[in-house]
Amino acid sequence: MKKSVFISTLGILVLVFLLLPLCITVITSFGTASTIQFPIKGFTLDWFLVVFQNEAFKNSMIVSLIIGFSSVIVALIIGIPVAYFIARGHFKGKEQLNQFFLSPSIIPGMVIGYVMFQVISAQLNLPIFLGLFISHLIISLPYVIRVVGASLTNFDESIEEAAWTLGMTRGETFIKIVLPNIKAGLLSAFLMAFINSFNNIPVSLFLTGPGVSTLPITLMSYLEFNYDPSVSALSTLLMFLTIIIMLLVEKLVGISTNTQTNA
């Protein structure tokens, strides 16, 4: 009994420790003062308007969206066949190949960022935008392979075998049978990889440059010289965007799992 109370109390304290800064950030985004203050004095939505009127924020938002969408789309094009090959293949070195593709997700972001800077900027001297795209593609690929691979593992392989016996080719089976049955997993992979790319700081920090910067990096730069509630307002918007996407992913994964279980 005492152990249960201790664990419950510890869990509540950890939850408060994690959520309290987020709650304070949301609250301070509505303050009327010209600097971030807590508790707030008055209530206003003006700082959210300031965010949407800030040209640097708008430009970096466009960069983040373009980099995020393009890198994740290409990650899906590469990652889906790789995930299928690993999930359905029976060959020596399968686990090592899987770990190779997933390795960017366990290597510290600062390390990836520094290596990409040395290769892309210092050695190859590629344009900033292209460098960001390649780097975000590399960090997005593990999310796609992991989520799609899990969906393929849960998908009954005998359905594919039945399609083959009925005369469908492997390509037709993959396009007409496999992909429609794992569409929830595909969308989940896209959303998870996108939010990871959109919120990324360590890799982007090394590769942004004049005129081309992602939103998180622009926010960090803005904080060096400004401490007004527009920072809290932008952080609040990004926070709720992330929460909505993760709830959507959770719902999609749940639907996918239940559907495949019932099938």
- For the chain, give the percent of residues with pLDDT over 90: 9
pLDDT tens figures, 242-258: 888 778 777 766 544 44
Please, which pLDDT band fits residue 167 given cuts at 50, 70 and 90? Answer: confident
Arithmetic mean of pLDDT over the chain:
82
Those residues whose C-beta lies under 8 Å from the C-beta of residue 133, and which sit 6 or more positions away, are: 67, 70, 71
Task: Look at 84 and 156; give whichever has higher pLDDT.
Answer: 84
Asked whether the predicted pLDDT for residue 72 surpasses 90, the reply is yes
Those residues whose C-beta lies under 8 Å from the C-beta of residue 115, and which sit 6 or more positions away, are: none
CATH topology of domain 45-262: MetI-like fold (1.10.3720)
**pTM score, two decimals?**
0.80
Task: Look at 164 and 140; give whichever has higher pLDDT.
Answer: 140
What the block records as the tokens of 76 is 């899906």
How far apart are the C-alpha atoms of 198 and 196, rounded to whole Å? Answer: 6
Segments making up each domain of the chain, as ranges: 1-44, 45-262
pLDDT tens figures, 180-224: 888 888 888 888 899 889 888 888 888 887 778 888 888 888 887
Q: How many CA atoms lie within 13 A of 135 on its CB side?
A: 33
Please, which pLDDT band fits residue 70 given cuts at 50, 70 and 90? Answer: very high
Please, which pLDDT band fits residue 263 given cuts at 50, 70 and 90? Answer: very low
Residue 212 sits at φ, ψ, to 5 deg, of -130, 100
pLDDT tens figures, 213-240: 888 888 888 887 877 888 888 888 888 8
pLDDT, position 261 = 46
Please, which pLDDT band fits residue 138 given cuts at 50, 70 and 90? Answer: very high
* Mean pLDDT to the nearest integer, 30-34: 80
How far apart are the C-alpha atoms of 32 and 65, rounded to whole Å? Answer: 30
How far apart are the C-alpha atoms of 156 and 260, rounded to whole Å? Answer: 8
Residue type at position 71: S
- For the chain, give the percent of residues with pLDDT over 70: 94
How far apart are the C-alpha atoms of 226 and 223, rounded to whole Å? Answer: 5
